[in-house]
Amino acid sequence: MKLKQIIAGLLLMLLPLMAVSAESASAKNETLDGQIQNLKQEVLKLNRNLFLLQEELLFPGNSQFSVFLSLDIGQYFQLDSVTLKIDNKTVANHLYTQHELQALKRGAVQQLYLGNIKSGQHELVALFTGKGADGRDSQRATSLNFDKRTDPKFIELKIIDQTSNGRALFEVKEW
């Protein structure tokens, strides 16, 4: 009986020590979790900085050229694909999924092309393939002659629904 009392007494004395030990282990785990989260944040920042540096190296501002596509409502022209030509050379082709079209209809802007071109006069031609308001297959094209200077050049292709005549307008804007 005495042995049971001694063991019970020892256990009662060790209980506070075990609780403190559990708390310190928990604190160590929390600091380890915190360190892991900090490392993840640092890796994300480093990845973003590397991406920006890569973009600056591959596409310097004096030759950078970007083309974006946006869509108004898309009721009068159901877009299937876009082919982009610069100076009669095809530089981009894109076939759209339903998910991408829904995003564009909600206001998203897609970067169709990012590349380098020399300073001077150039011609951009965009060929749109899809279905017209009547449901028939349709191809529409738009073009723009532009002057590339030493600054980056941004162009937007926009498909706008015209409710006045029930047709889509294909607009090209320089930014």
pLDDT at 17: 52
Is there a contact between 129 and 66 (Cβ–Cβ < 8 Å)? Answer: no
Q: Which two tokens stand for residue 39?
A: 């490392």
pLDDT at 162: 87
Q: Which two tokens stand for residue 163?
A: 């409710």
Q: Which two tokens stand for residue 21?
A: 């030990």
Is there a contact between 162 and 172 (Cβ–Cβ < 8 Å)? Answer: no
pLDDT at 7: 57
CA distance 47 to 30: 26
pLDDT at 24: 55
Give 10-residue mean pLDDT values along the chain (175 residues): 57 54 56 87 85 74 89 86 96 96 93 93 96 89 93 93 86 90
| φ, ψ at 23 (rounded to 5°) | -65, -40
pLDDT at 61: 67
| φ, ψ at 31 (rounded to 5°) | -65, -35
Is there a contact between 62 and 75 (Cβ–Cβ < 8 Å)? Answer: no
Strand runs labelled E in 63-136: 64-71, 77-86, 89-95, 110-116, 120-132
| φ, ψ at 87 (rounded to 5°) | 55, 50
pLDDT at 80: 95
